[in-house]
Amino acid sequence: MSTGHLQNRSAYLAEMRPQRSRAGFTLPELLVAITITGILAAMAAPSFASLIASQRAKAVASELFATLTRARSEAIARNAAVTLSPKAGDWKNGWQILDPANAANALDDRGSTTGAGISGPANVVYRPSGRLQAGAAPSFLVTATSGSTTTYQCVSVDLSGRPYMLAASSC
């Protein structure tokens, strides 16, 4: 027999054998992979709660920071006293900057916060110079809780009128 004939016969016999599926996972392999994924997810869940609380607090604090900066800019641009005040007497319900020339017109209006609490002064008044009214510098404490994790952000305003943020449990 020639070598070519043997090769053809070997190829023919290989085609005749039942072939095993080579794609995919076996059931035990799949169960092990799912178990390992579940264990890793359970270990990561507490750190995700901390991350979620931290991001909520930072997001609300950043919005408040931006609104304070806008109120200061509006006071300087309009050469008039501009007030930032909470809606319905609570910062958690949102806040607004009212037009000093027409109180019915809101220059900025933020809605209520979800997943975070805010404690702060009754209002913040910027003078036409961009500085604060006489008295103590206002500060806001933003608190966000996710699971058993509580995160704090402090937004304060110095006497020159510039706001700043700080990750702290008290201002």
Q: Write the CATH number for 59.
A: 3.55.40.10
Q: The sheet that has 139-146: what strands, in order across it?
A: 116-119, 139-146, 149-157, 163-166
In a domain, 97, yes or no: yes
Residue 24 above 80 pLDDT?
no
pTM above 0.75, yes or no: no
Output the CA–CA distances (angstroms, integers) from residue 65 to 14, 69, 130, 154, in the order listed: 73, 6, 15, 10
pLDDT of 21 > 80? The answer is no
pLDDT of residue 81: 92
**Does residue 22 lie in a domain region?**
no
Q: Is residue 150 predicted with pLDDT exceeding 90?
A: no
Domains of the chain: total: 1
Residue written as tokens 């039942």?
18
